[in-house]
Structure 1
Amino acid sequence: MVKWSRFNVTSVVLGFALLYMPILLLVIFSFNSSQLVTVWAGFSFRWYGQLFDNQSLLDAAWTTLRVGVISATLATILGTLAAFTLVRHTRFRGRMLFSGMIYAPLVMPDVITGLSLLLLLVTIGFDRGFWTVALAHTTLTMCFVAVVVQSRLITFDRSIEEAALDLGASPVRAFFEVTLPLISPAVFSGWVLAFTLSLDDLVIASFTSGPGTTTLPMKIYSQVRRGVTPEINAVCTILIAVVTVGVIAASVITKRRELQRQRDEHAAAAL
């Protein structure tokens, strides 16, 4: 049994404190009855009630959710196809260029990505709005999905897929009925990651959004510049709760599907 020294314990405690104490304080002060966000005056749901009367914040939240769902779905489809191409087709002309273009957003600063997309939209004369933000987030998150799905495809047992092909299934049918269900935990994890990144983005959305298209991070940032209000604490708490529930649900579902996959593989091996 490994014994932790005082230094290790102190380092872990300080690390978690620096990470989660600000979030905890934000959640606590979202229930503060005082107008001053740094002075505790008692427990109250006052600001949550006023939050739901703030139509501009609700519109921004609804826009953010729609952008997140659409961009995460598109990114999951394109990222899965890209990962499948990189893993199954290791030799084709331009593979290195294709791989580099897929993973470029991982290391590209958001400012550069946002500015590049803005110049592209201006050049082609495409009006900025809801769909430009959704497409920009798809570009940003697709590479993350590709990384997650590719790591699963590398360890995928292709004998199961080959057995389906030997039994007469077409490659497309084998993919949708055999391969995709087995890699679905990774695909779902990629979708949740893409959705979370879309909810969090501020820089790229600022470059690619147009009049009447304001996401929640943009709305919060614009209000924080004039001072933090208790309503901002409330909406941030709700956003934290949504992301936390989503991550926990994704972890549980992924774990259950992985266990089911292992049982199916053991059953197939026994036969």
Structure 2
Amino acid sequence: MPELPEVETTRSGIAPYIENQQVKQVVIRDSRLRWPITENLDKKLCGKIIQSVSRRAKYLLLHTAEGTLFIHLGMSGRLRILTTFQPAEKHDHVDIVFANNIILRFTDPRRFGAVLWTTEPPLQHPLLHHLGPEPLEEDFDAEYLFKRSRKRQVSIKTFIMNAEIVVGVGNIYASESLFLSGINPQLIAAKLTKKQAEKLVAAIKLTLEKAIAAGGTTLRDFRDSEGKPGYFAQELWVYARQNQDCKQCGHPIELIRQSQRATYFCPQCQKL
């Protein structure tokens, strides 16, 4: 599943091609995504100029003067920039064609993504208004995380993966951040100390920044807007490394299940 670094990599990849460009045509081949594609999207979007491309959590926002197009990549979705026409394949559900003949193509084999149009302020949209802070912004700090963790009786890994607490810390990056901060993923969130909160916030920011710089993580099928894989998987400390030696102490990495998700950690470096 594309997580925050993959979505940010996609945003930075498509923005130079479509910002300040006018939409000439919208081709919808299959509207049956997680939610049906907005009815008459072609009429609503054609003629509009994409003023900017931003990201909130794992949503890409294509802003125009009249409204905003939300795109979510879901479990297996991706966006590609085509500079020349290529015949659509089975899972190529949407093409947005611009006046400069650039094509933004949305591909989603599992159809858990979304393409939605709104004319209301995007941050007040029901999909976004309840979300926690962005992890790389200043309002996500140790004081905030410590205060939000009080009385929370869930594991710290489950806690930081809650998008109402902080967005974008998906399964891969939660395991990696907890390892870097030396915190056992089974620690109850309410027992997090202020010193641990400082280490964890720093680790989350560092892990996400490095993943973005590397173009995201490729474990299955993520590709950026140019079809290139992410390379952060080569730098993973614990994720998907069960029974392999810890790079830091040599103890075998262990795998457990938390909230039906795989959690990887080193019991020696991350003592409970």
Q: Normalized against structure 2, the TM-score is what?
A: 0.21
Greater relative CO (CA pairs within 8 A, separation 6+): 1
More helix by share: 1
TM score, norm. by length of structure 1: 0.21
Larger Rg: 1
